[in-house]
Structure 1
Amino acid sequence: MTLARPTIPRTLVLAVLTAALLAAGGLARADDYSDVNQLLRGGKLPEALSKADQYLAGKPKDPQMRFIKGVILTEQGKTGEAITTFQKLTEDYPELPEPYNNLAVLYAGQAQFDKARAALEMAIRTNPSYATAHENLGDVYAKLASQAYSRALQLDASNTAVQPKLALIRELFSANPKVSAAAARTGGAIPAPATAAAPAPAATKAPTGGAVVAQAPAPAPAAKPAPAVAAAPAAAPTPAPAPAAPAVAADKAAATKDVEAAVHAWATAWAAKDMGGYLGSYGKEFDPPGKQSRKAWEEERRGRIVGKSHIAVKITDLSVSVNGNKATARFKQDYAADALKVNSRKTLDLVNNGGKWQIVRESTG
């Protein structure tokens, strides 16, 4: 997994902080971000860096511009400076997962896969729903496995069990072409600060989307035909009643409203730091990411939420689809806690447990 120059992985340029709307006067600041991004997309790296430094001279703690500066430094091949920039971001804003993700990309480019793994684990601990970090961590583990298999062959060339495993991993990485710099720039590098696009895998791996797609439930098996029975002649059969479409539609509409109410109740409990209501919004089927136990995940969430002096969670553009006892809710989430403001797209998969809709999967992006 090499970090090509001047090409940079799409993961790096798409892992964009959504904390751009941090302060009041966001419109003027968004224009500053837009100007720097435009120079970056146009390949005018010295001008982009100069404008970013000029902005940071007046607002040295601004996370979004510091993040963009890290991307510019990476494009310029100044890996050491880029690493320093992202490291300082993780120190000042440890709740943001994107700087950890980009550190991992840079470490992987230097074949420092242990450091890349540690950075990605921090990204996942910060945001367990960060799908890109999970995928990148899989790539890093694959590279570590490749190194281990290669070492095993060096020590015992006659070990025929190792060779197919090593070949499989090499085929996995060679099957994905590198992302060109032009494609990276036209693929949404540093989009407008409103929403972050879903990043693609790390290092030179071509993007595979990474979006979690809710699978449609398997179709119900066809009913077995009843055995034929001889019957006496009878009057003309009575026409079958028309399907009760209005009733079905009404049930689905009611379920949709129940799901919407459950999502808003989850957000309200979160904002109120009502841990009973918040944790109760997650069903027993919810599998915490990052190999955490349910108890460890709940303790971590409790520490992150209760420790904030103020939390606001606003949900807009809520779209709900219901299929039987399963539902998917997609919406835009505006989150504010103390000095931090983040806005992102979120997807919740829910199931109906005894009349209560509960979350079984949560993803961001």
Structure 2
Amino acid sequence: MSKSASLSSKPLSASLRWLALAAALSLSAAHADDYSDVNDLARSGKLTEAMAKADQYLAGKPRDPQMRFIKGVLQTEAGKPADAISTFTKITQDYPELPEPYNNLAVLYAGQNQFDKARAALEMAIRTNPSYATAHENLGDVYAKLASQAYSKALQLDGGNAGVQPKLALIRTLFSAEPKGQKPAASNSASGPVTTPPPAAPARPAVVVPVAPPAPAPAAPSTAPVTQPTAAPVSALEKEVEAAVRAWASAWAAKDMAAYLAAYGKDFDTPGNQTRKAWEEERRSRIVGKSRISVKLSNVSVAVKGSKATARFKQDYSADALNVSSRKTLDMAKAGERWLIVRESTGG
């Protein structure tokens, strides 16, 4: 690539959004103190002590995904990207349903200019969670870098192509700006992505003292009856949809694959452009292999419009050593007497 056609000298990994320490995963309350202790040591720059404490914890709980995730970040901070890649890769093998390790793998690969591997990792993150905005954003940046390399090659082969230079100039502007999101904190590591501290607590809102308006003139007494406002009743259709959603969650927790898969309509939008058969086989392998599954729903909100409905809720999922809390949305459609899932998304 010629100097005039190159991207900004800033590495692409500095522009991608890196997930720091345990902030990306749901922390188990039983071990939150252990995670916090390791995080505190890392933020104090005591990486050796933090790593030792993480290893001590993992000696007793080697499959714990949260502490393994933290260890991957510590290895990156310590300037050991190869070790971090190994750690995150093993997490994806043991917990393929977690998108965050794929995201951090992509950032590490991008830091080594392995953009095809970065792209593949981000596509896996999106396949796992199609609503994962961070992975979509990072994938756009990786595609931009790959486009830059392709445009540069085209310019080398055909230096008279006047249409290539403007495209390269446009891509250069994408990477000349500051990295998106929170600016990374200073790191002791000379290479690799930089860990960002967890978000600060939101500022306490200002207290506004209301000023009482002038008292209105006394009104003449009215003989009309006063109607008290009443809450809108929950429709029978909304109850039907919620019952279908809870039956789906119960079948999932019971590993009743026949009932679980029957909760999805024939027109279900499978993630990652999978065939229905491939998606069902993947779900079966992920569910049946667990020794135990718990799926708890709360704050269920249902909206019905004709033969379509949307159910939004908080989902607390746990399986073996994994604990994840997320917001989920199910788009439903009426098929005969049943409400079936036609689209499933996480977040929002």
Choose from 277, 281, 285 the match for 1:295.
Answer: 277
Consecutive unaligned residues of structure 2, counting only runs of 5 or more, are 1-10, 186-194, 202-228
Aligned AA for 2:333? N
User: What's the offset of the Cα at 1:94?
Assistant: 4.3
Check conservation: 2:16, 2:141, Cα contact below 8 A. no
User: What's the offset of the Cα at 1:107?
Assistant: 0.6
SS in 2 for 1:330: strand
CA RMSD after TM alignment: 3.4
Partner of 2:211: none
Check conservation: 2:327, 2:346, Cα contact below 8 A. yes
The CA distance in 1 between the partners of 2:16 and 2:40, in whole Å, is 17
Partner of 2:13: 3
Check conservation: 2:65, 2:321, Cα contact below 8 A. no
User: What's the offset of the Cα at 1:114?
Assistant: 1.2
User: What's the offset of the Cα at 1:317?
Assistant: 3.2
Check conservation: 1:15, 1:102, Cα contact below 8 A. no
Partner of 1:330: 312
Check conservation: 2:331, 2:344, Cα contact below 8 A. no
The CA distance in 2 between the partners of 1:315 and 1:284, in whole Å, is 24
User: What's the offset of the Cα at 1:301?
Assistant: 1.9
User: What's the offset of the Cα at 1:270?
Assistant: 1.8
Map 1:1-365 onto structure 2 (within 5 A).
Answer: 2-4=12-14, 9-13=17-21, 16-18=24-26, 20-21=27-28, 27=30, 29-127=31-129, 130-174=132-176, 177-178=179-180, 179-182=182-185, 184-187=196-199, 249-250=232-233, 253-322=235-304, 326-337=308-319, 339-354=320-335, 356-365=338-347
The CA distance in 2 between the partners of 1:343 and 1:186, in whole Å, is 18
SS in 1 for 2:197: helix
Partner of 2:225: none
Partner of 1:194: none
Aligned AA for 2:330? D
Check conservation: 1:285, 1:360, Cα contact below 8 A. yes
Partner of 2:188: none
Q: Which has the higher contact order (CA 8 A, sep 6+)?
A: 1
Q: Deviations over 1:23-47 (max 9, x none)?
A: xxx52x2211122223334554344
Identity of aligned residues (%): 67
Q: 1:275 to 1:66 in 2, by over 3 A?
A: closer
Aligned AA for 1:273? K
The CA distance in 2 between the partners of 1:75 and 1:257, in whole Å, is 50
Aligned AA for 1:329? A
The CA distance in 1 between the partners of 2:21 and 2:50, in whole Å, is 15
Check conservation: 1:131, 1:364, Cα contact below 8 A. no
User: What's the offset of the Cα at 1:62?
Assistant: 2.9
Q: 1:256 to 1:172 in 2, by over 3 A?
A: farther
User: What's the offset of the Cα at 1:134?
Assistant: 4.0
Q: Deviations over 1:185-210 (max 9, x none)?
A: 14279xxxxxxxxxxxxxxxxxxxxx
SS in 1 for 2:271: coil
The CA distance in 2 between the partners of 1:329 and 1:148, in whole Å, is 44
The CA distance in 2 between the partners of 1:51 and 1:14, in whole Å, is 15
Check conservation: 1:70, 1:86, Cα contact below 8 A. yes
User: What's the offset of the Cα at 1:307?
Assistant: 4.0
SS in 2 for 1:181: coil
Aligned AA for 2:255? K
The CA distance in 2 between the partners of 1:177 and 1:324, in whole Å, is 45
Q: 1:62 to 1:270 in 2, by over 3 A?
A: closer
User: What's the offset of the Cα at 1:261?
Assistant: 1.2
Consecutive unaligned residues of structure 1, counting only runs of 5 or more, are 190-244
Check conservation: 2:22, 2:67, Cα contact below 8 A. no
The CA distance in 2 between the partners of 1:93 and 1:56, in whole Å, is 16
SS in 1 for 2:345: strand
Aligned AA for 1:48? A
TM-score, reference length from structure 1: 0.68
TM-score, reference length from structure 2: 0.71
SS in 2 for 1:314: strand
Check conservation: 1:313, 1:336, Cα contact below 8 A. yes
The CA distance in 2 between the partners of 1:288 and 1:109, in whole Å, is 32
Aligned AA for 1:340? A
SS in 1 for 2:76: helix
